[in-house]
Structure 1
Amino acid sequence: MELEKSAKAPAAKGELRIVGFSGNLARPSRTRTLVQAVLDAASARGLGKTVAYDLFDAGPSFGQTPERAKAHPEVELILGAIQKADALVVGTAVYKGAYTGLFKHLFDLFDMTALARKPVIVTATGKAPQHASVIDYHLRPLFLFFDARVATRGLYALEPDFETPERLVPSFQARIDHTVDELAQLLQPATS
């Protein structure tokens, strides 16, 4: 499977690894498209090697994974990639005003220090403009719990922001570019 090959291939020496994760079970999905668009923009800017996963990649046993030590290999592949990443781009569809339960379940499998200081871009897709608050009231606090460095600019996309489930409208690219600007800043080494 091509996805697994690229995920297992080590980044070139000094090249950063940016991992995307979409909390969707279906393909195609608007959420995966949004996450991938951010990864593509980061890659085009030369910020690092990128790879994307979604819940589909975790396989049918994922929902029955009570703890990381009991994770099946396909689940551990995703968990390991997220933990080893230099930065994350995460996304979820909004259901009942919050992130999906299985999206949250994946992050429940991490130790509370596993994502410390890791830059994270949060994204979400939904049908109602008022659900954009999922960025500030659900996703940002989740990653702040892990002491991750959550970007101030999240991305929320509505159905009209997509030409098809696999393609965003061209006008959305400016929003992605601004978010990738912030990711580039978060990836800069800290100076004293």
Structure 2
Amino acid sequence: MIRPLRTVIVNGSLHRPSRTQVLLDALRDSLNDHLALHVHHIELVNLLPELGAALSTDALPTDAQHAIKAIENADLLIVGTPIFRAGIPGLLKHLFDLIDMNALNGTPVLLAATGGSQRHALVIEHQLRPLFSFFQSLTLPIGVYATPEDIHDGVITSDALQQHIQRTINLAVPVLQGVQARLLQDTAVTQEQAA
């Protein structure tokens, strides 16, 4: 029996509500149409102000330490962030500075971002993808980017964005099915060894 993927959704927004959360929810729902997911949400805004002052995980409160462990133990990460002045929030980068550098090796990561205009769309390729390449993660083929014209009052109103989300999910699903199959195989091997 295939177990649900332990999916951790990281919202790098410092605001609530946020367009980034709307985009992340849409990605989660679209993926859930194809795969069984066990979802854990991490919102950066909930980790303030202690996160910014911490230089190690030992200095974090319990909730933030649990967030770090959830990220490190995920089968799948979905990471979304707003873009400010052509960059990701410093606190989101700091969160990943506290992640063990070997914990995300081979972990699939779906990247998403929101920004004020299309001028920021390449931040996914130039900042997020290199960050997860450092961790030797498997960044999924297409990132998803949205502007204020795509999301109104907490709802995706752009057909183009909806189509892009579906195209992204269609490319991600075969990879994630392979991850599920590998996890099933690893579980079977572990059970055989224990018997």
TM-score under structure 2 length normalisation: 0.85
Q: Which of 131, 156, 180 is residue 168 of structure 1 equivalent to?
A: 156
Q: More displaced, 52-61 or 20-29?
A: 52-61
Contact 1:20 1:52 in 2 (8 A): yes
Q: More displaced, 39-48 or 153-162?
A: 39-48
Instruction: Specify the alignment match of 1:121 in structure 2.
Output: 110
Contact 2:8 2:76 in 1 (8 A): yes
The runs of at least 4 aligned residues of structure 1 exceeding 3 Å deviation read none
Distance 2:152 2:140 in 1: 27
Matches within 5 A, 1:42-61: 42-61=31-50
Q: Which of 127, 131, 148 is residue 159 of structure 1 equivalent to?
A: 148
Secondary structure of 1:187's partner?
helix
Instruction: Give me the CA root mean square deviation.
Output: 2.0
Q: 1:162–1:75: structure 2 CA closer, same or farther, 3 Å change rule?
A: same
Give per-residue Cα distances to partners, 1:62-85, cap 9 Å, x unaligned: 111111122211111211111111
Higher Rg = 2
Give per-residue Cα distances to partners, 1:100-141, cap 9 Å, x unaligned: 101101000012111110000111100121210101100000
Matches within 5 A, 1:124-135: 124-135=113-124
Contact 1:59 1:75 in 2 (8 A): no
Q: Which of 5, 10, 16 is residue 27 of structure 1 equivalent to?
A: 16
Contact 2:4 2:35 in 1 (8 A): no
Distance 2:65 2:22 in 1: 23
TM-score under structure 1 length normalisation: 0.87
One-letter code aligned to 1:185:
P
Q: Give the Å deviation of 1:183.
A: 2.3
Structure 2: gaps of 5 or more residues:
182-195
Identity of aligned residues (%): 34
Distance 1:54 1:183 in 2: 23
